[in-house]
A and B are shown apart, each in its own frame.
Chain A
Amino acid sequence: MSLDIARIRADFPLLAQEHNGHRLVYLDSASSAQKPQSVMHAMDEFMEHSYANVHRGVYAIAEAATARFEAARATVAGFIGARESAELAFTRNATEAINLVAHSWGRTNLAAGDVVVLTEMEHHANIVPWHMLAAERGIELRWIPIDAEYRLDLTNLDETLSGAKLLAVTAMSNVLGTVNDIPMLVRAARSAGAHVLVDASQAAPHLPIDVQAWDADFAVLTAHKMLGPSGIGALWARRELLEAMPPFLGGGEMIRDVRKDGFTTNDVPWKFEAGTPAITEAIGWGAAIDYLQGIGMDAVHEHEVELTRYALDALDAEFGERLTIYGPSTTDARGGVISFLFPAIHAHDVSQVLDEEAVCVRAGHHCAKPLMRVLQIPATSRASLYLYNDTDDVDALIVGLTHAEKFFAVDPT
């Protein structure tokens, strides 16, 4: 069941570009994915015909806009297996969703000495909000380490989780590609009495996910990594948690009543949606999910696993031990994020050479500096694969890397 990549690529106008006479090779989808025509059309069509603010006007287009906005919520909620749309609050992005949990649930439920468990492979978005809470409330952070295969080292898991109030863990590393066993981690956290927040930003675009099967308490995701627009993300949480949580931001929409002496909050999820939301972006996100579901997330994942296997083999065949790959060597529980480094060439310099050949990769710490410190490196280059990439893209990467290696050779020959 292989995907018809030529047909998929035709849906992404940006990928048809050339730079410096080279076909554009986009290998930075882990940072942000490109957008299919259907997403752009949905957003344009909505603005041309139905745009109005939501949950306010009684006129026809306002009703239509509200209905479509709420339909988009239902689409996102369905995509992640939520029990009901009311469990899904739109946010600006996954980062804001984690901040929402830290601010609202965290400040209500965590006190000095309480433990939040993170992992060494978290993105800054799932670290800094907890550092901020630690500074404010004196909570303790514990870290699940990674092992030599770049997977979570679960040797002391029960000890680490002992007495913890929350485990906040990514479903898939944005640096290593490692896919974590969330159901197992949730079971371990539950038996320690901890709640679980899953950062699904990197997993949701690439794998079928099901928050109920995970049995998690919170999950966050963002539209722009899954073919949707930037500026919108979501927090999913079990309804009883959302209902017990105080609001995050105050303003319009999130209230039921406001008086001179106070306010009462709206129902969930609107309680967490102060101010006019990203309406057109929600429509775009819905269209992005329709596109992904039209292909099927199992097929997307299968394609990426095959392509990752191809890339890992090709990199090994060409460079062997001259290139270090920071991520699992097998494609079991691994996504299409490939971080690599020539030990003597800085990731920025490699990316610069690749850019000359229109190969777009990310270079840097990938918003995971604690992980970089564990790996004892300042940065990596990172190629990330998606449904529109094929073996030609991987081959272009490898050609570019041979040029980078030659260009920066310590002893040019």
Chain B
Amino acid sequence: MAGLEDLYREIILDHYRAPRNRGELEVPPAHQVEGFNPLCGDEVILYLDVENGMVSDVKIAGQGCSISQASTSMMSAAVKGRSVAEARTITRAFKALMSIHESKIGGDDVDATADDLAGVRLGDLEALQGVVKFPVRIKCATLAWNTLVQGLDEIESSH
């Protein structure tokens, strides 16, 4: 099953089996934001602790398939401890990785120029690149990231 191993890389299965940053944060001070994939019922709930422009803590609740759960876990590890600006840049870079099909379906953040993203290191997140070969699963991989952007927007607009 070579095709499957493109999709389900070991690092993805590792994040699925042992998700990072599961839990909840007290709201407030943390901000809670929910994302749904209406097609399959996957749900992600993010608790974001943003202080002085830094994503100081992230916790995750919700349920979904291995791709959505692993992507959510990897997202939390990638943005925790980063500035909001860095989190947004990583998000754009990740969505560019997924952009082959996503750009037409609500990917309003993928218009960043290549220069903008040059030098952004995605590390483990690149394991999710195989998802692009399975178009219906792209929404599973981007759910957490769209939810993150929504949460960061809500936090910034409330200030």
* Chain A residues within 8 Å of B, Cβ to Cβ: 20, 346-349, 352-353, 356, 363-365, 369, 372, 378-379, 403, 407-408, 410
Contacts and interface: CB of A to CB of B under 8 A. Distances in A.
Contact of A352 (B7, B41, B64, B69): B7
B66 A349 contact: yes
Given A352-B4, A352-B134, A410-B17, A364 B40 contact: yes
B31 to A, nearest CB: 24
Contact of A346 (B1, B3, B66, B134): B66
Nearest to A353: B4
B39 interface: yes
A407 B64 contact: no
Most B C-beta atoms less than 10 A away, residue of A20, A346, A378, A410: A346
A209 to B, nearest CB: 30
Contacts of A346: 64-66, 69
15 contacts: A346-B69, A347-B40, A348-B40, A348-B42, A348-B137, A352-B134, A356-B1, A356-B3, A356-B4, A364-B41, A365-B41, A379-B42, A407-B1, A407-B4, A407-B8
Contacts of A410: 17
B140 interface: yes
B66 A408 contact: yes
A38 B10 CA distance: 48
B89 to A, nearest CB: 29
B102 interface: no
A364 B140 CA distance: 12
A347 B134 CA distance: 16
Nearest to A379: B41
Most B C-beta atoms less than 10 A away, residue of A20, A349, A369: A349
Nearest to B8: A407
Top 10 nearest A-B pairs (CB, nearest first) are A348-B65, A346-B65, A365-B41, A378-B41, A364-B40, A379-B41, A349-B66, A356-B1, A349-B65, A378-B63
A352 B39 contact: no
B9 to A, nearest CB: 13
Nearest to B5: A407
Interface string B124-135: 000000000010
A365 to B, nearest CB: 4
B49 interface: no
A363 B63 CA distance: 15
Given A352-B137, A353-B1, A365-B41, 16 more contacts: A20-B3, A346-B64, A346-B65, A347-B65, A348-B66, A349-B66, A349-B67, A363-B40, A364-B39, A364-B41, A372-B41, A378-B40, A378-B63, A379-B42, A407-B8, A408-B66
Contacts of B39: 364
Most A C-beta atoms less than 10 A away, residue of B4, B39, B134: B4
B66 A379 contact: no
B68 to A, nearest CB: 8
A356 B5 CA distance: 11
Contacts of B17: 410
B45 to A, nearest CB: 13
A378 B7 contact: no
Contacts of A379: 40-42
B127 to A, nearest CB: 16
Contacts of B69: 346
B137 A403 contact: no
A124 to B, nearest CB: 11
Nearest to A408: B66
Interface string B29-62: 0000000000111110000000000000000000
Contacts of A349: 8, 65-67
A408 B4 CA distance: 11
Contacts of B63: 378
A20 B1 CA distance: 9
A369 B41 contact: yes
Interface string B81-97: 00000000000000000
Contacts of A347: 40, 65
Contacts of B66: 346, 348-349, 408
Nearest to B7: A352
Contact of B1 (A348, A363, A369, A403): A403
A20 B140 CA distance: 24
Contacts of B41: 364-365, 369, 372, 378-379
Most A C-beta atoms less than 10 A away, residue of B8, B40, B134: B40
A310 B63 CA distance: 32
Most A C-beta atoms less than 10 A away, residue of B4, B41, B42, B65: B41
